[in-house]
Structure 1
C-alpha cells in the first residue's frame, strides 16, 4: 500500500492529450501483428460505411462550412490521440452487441480505453493495490465463476480494473500507483473470489480535447456512471468483457457511452462489520 500524500492533487491535472496518447499506445500494441481481415470484407464494410455517410450528408443537407469543421475536428482527434476514446464511447457498444448476440452466459459490454494487460496476479481472496488512507467507500466484491451448465470453474481469471474515488484510472493520470485498483484474481476450487477494493465514482470522459469539443458543440453531457471493469476467462471457455454499475447511481440512465444493461446492475448492501459495502455477482461463461 502506497502513501496518499499529494497524489490526489496531482491526478486532478490529468490532460486529455496525455490520456489519449497512452490509450492509443496500449491499443496499437495489441494489434502489432497486422490484419488478417480479407480484402472482400474490408470492401463490404468500408463501402457500406461510406454510403451511410453519403446518406447523412444528403438527408441533413450538410454545408461546406460544416464539412470543413468536420475535417478540422477529425485532424485534431488524431493529433490528440483520441480516436480510441471516440470509438469506445460512441461505437463500441454496438460492436459488442453484435459480437455477443448468441451467448447464453453473462452479459458483456464495452471494454473502454483504459484497460492495461498483465496486471498483478492475486489469490481468490485479496485486496487490490491502493494508497494509505485511500478516499472512498470500502467495497467487498465477491462471487463465483461457473460454466453455463452450473459447473464451478476453478482457476478462472477475474481481471478487474476501475477508477478511484475521483474518477481517474492508474496509468492514465499522473501521481497514481501503477496498479491502483487493477489485478488478475484467480478463483478458488469452487470458482469463488472475494476482492476488497474501493467503490469507484462516476467520471467525465476527458473534455479538454477533441471529444470534449464535440460534446460541447452538440450540447451533450460527458459523464459515465460509476462502474467496475472486468474480463473473466477460464480454459475452454469464452472470455467475457463487461462492466458492472451501481443501481440508482448517477448517470446510469444517461451513460454517454450507452453501455449500461439491466443485467449489469449491482445493489451493494452495508457489511455486517460496518466496513463499507459488499456485493455479490456471479459470472457464467459460455464454452469455447
Structure 2
C-alpha cells in the first residue's frame, strides 16, 4: 500500500509544508505574550548549551562535522522546517512532561498541521470531504467524559487528519480548504458519531533539511495513520491527542515516537455496509 501511495505524497514538499506550518505557528504566537523569566531562560539555555558541549567532547566532534552542523542549522531555517523538526523529535517529550499528572485520555503532540476554526458540525456528523473521498469509510463514536465519569454536554472536538494519500488539506495542493477537518459539538448526552475515512500512513517531507538528517542517520520518515483530536469543555483542561490503528503500518516504529498503547484503536467491520467502526471515549481532566 505504501508504495502505491508514495507518488501522491510527494506532492507535499518540504518547502510548501514548512511555509504553511511556520505561518500557522507564528500566527498563534502573536496572541501569546512571553512569560518565561530570565532565571528560567538562563537555566534552560545554559543546560542546553552545556549538553551540546558534552556531546562534542564525548564524540570528539571534528571541525568538518561542526561546519556541517552549522550549514544544516542555517538551511533548516531557510527551508521553514523548524516547526517540523521540533514537532517530530521534541514535542512528544514536552507533552509528556506537561501532562504527566493528568488522569484522562493520554495526550499527544498537536503537530504542525492543526488549523483553527474548522467548520462547526453537529454531534452526528460527517467531516467535510470530496465526493467519493478515497479510503476506507470509518465511523468514530464515543462520549466526552470527565475523569469522574460524568458526561460533558456541549464539549467540542476539533478533528483533523491526513487523507488516503497521506496529505493534509491546507498543506498540500489540490485539496479543498477544510477537507477532513471539522469542529464537532457533542450532544446533550455528550455522545458523538463522526463519519470519515481511515487516514493513511505518510512520510514527513523528505526533500528538505529534516529529510537530509533522516537520510544521513539511516532512519525512515514514516508516521502511522492517525486521527488528531482536540477536546475542549468548560472547567476542564483541553486535551490534544492522536489516535492510531491496531495493526497499522509503522505503529511500532513511528518517526515521531508519539504512539502510546492507550491511544491505539481497534476498529471492527460495520454490520450493514462497507468500512469499519470504532468506539472510544475521550476523557478530560478538571482544571
TM-score by length of 1: 0.95
Name the structure 2 match of 1:31. Answer: 29
Distance 2:283 2:199 in 1: 24
Name the structure 2 match of 1:212. Answer: 211
Instruction: Map residues 120-159 of structure 1 onto 2, 5 A cutoff.
Output: 120-159=119-158
- Equivalent residues, number: 281
**Does the 8 Å CA contact 2:109/2:241 hold for their aligned counterparts?**
yes
Name the structure 2 match of 1:247. Answer: 246
List runs of 5+ in structure 2 lacking aligned partners. 1-5
Distance 2:10 2:97 in 1: 36
Counterpart of 2:29 in 1: which secondary structure? coil
Distance 1:39 1:236 in 2: 31
Distance 1:148 1:196 in 2: 26
**Does the 8 Å CA contact 1:237/1:287 hold for their aligned counterparts?**
yes
How far 1:15 sits from its partner (Å)?
1.4
Instruction: Map residues 1-288 of structure 1 onto 2, 5 A cutoff.
Output: 12-32=10-30, 33-288=32-287
Counterpart of 1:30 in 2: which secondary structure? helix
Counterpart of 2:111 in 1: which secondary structure? coil
Distance 1:71 1:95 in 2: 25
**Does the 8 Å CA contact 1:163/1:200 hold for their aligned counterparts?**
yes
**Does the 8 Å CA contact 1:107/1:264 hold for their aligned counterparts?**
yes
How far 1:10 sits from its partner (Å)?
7.8
Distance 1:235 1:204 in 2: 36
Distance 2:8 2:275 in 1: 26
Counterpart of 1:142 in 2: which secondary structure? strand
Distance 1:47 1:132 in 2: 54
Distance 2:124 2:69 in 1: 50
Counterpart of 2:56 in 1: which secondary structure? helix
**Does the 8 Å CA contact 1:10/1:175 hold for their aligned counterparts?**
no
Distance 1:194 1:265 in 2: 18
| Runs ≥4 residues deviating over 3 A | 8-12
How far 1:34 sits from its partner (Å)?
3.3
Structure 1 225/30 Cα, relative in aligned 2: closer, same or farther at 3 Å? same
Counterpart of 2:96 in 1: which secondary structure? helix
How far 1:13 sits from its partner (Å)?
2.4
Distance 2:262 2:84 in 1: 25
Distance 1:86 1:148 in 2: 33
Distance 1:184 1:277 in 2: 22
**Does the 8 Å CA contact 1:11/1:176 hold for their aligned counterparts?**
no
Please provide the CA RMSD for this pair: 1.3
Counterpart of 2:11 in 1: which secondary structure? coil
